Amino acid sequence: MTAIEICKSADLTEGGKGVRFPLRAAGEDAVGFVIRYDGAVHAYLNRCAHVPVELDWNPGEFLESSGLYIMCATHGAIYQPDTGYCSGGPCRGGRLRKITVEEIEGQVFWYPDEFVHPAVA
């Protein structure tokens, strides 16, 4: 499938706010997000592994105050930003649904797969 633009690379700062983007997951409207961590971009379905609720505290705020972990605003689950692995909280051992992303010439793109698809216009 074709790459879908999310944002400019400059919109993502190390340990800063993420960017949300619309998609469809398993045939339902959903939201993905992309963050910058350890110099690279990482994207996930915005859905806690414990209970399917969105993770961000406020729109785009996925990382806890140190900028080292993604944290679920509802349950306090802690996820590794580079793998989506849950290392603490009620879903320990679970993981976020990773979305394939890449940076090309100052832009960030995501790629649909068998589970996540472009949002319906």
Number of structural domains the chain divides into: 1
Q: Could you report the per-residue pLDDT of 12-61, keeping only the tens digit for each?
A: 999 999 999 999 999 899 999 999 999 999 999 999 998 889 999 999 99
Give the per-residue pLDDT at 89: 87
Q: Which domain holds residue 84?
A: 4-116
**CATH number of domain containing 30:** 2.102.10.10
51-79 confidence digits (pLDDT tens): 889 999 999 999 999 999 999 999 899 99
Asked if residue 20 is part of any domain, the answer here is: yes
CA quadruple 65, 67, 73, 76: dihedral positive or negative?
A: negative
**Domain for residue 121, yes or no?**
no
Check residue 40 and give left, alpha or beta (phi > 0: left; psi -120 to 50: alpha).
beta
* DSSP assignment letter at 96: -
CA atoms in the 13 A half-sphere facing the CB of 44: 29
Predicted confidence (pLDDT) per residue in 79-102, tens digit: 999 999 999 988 888 999 999 999
pLDDT at 1 over 70: no
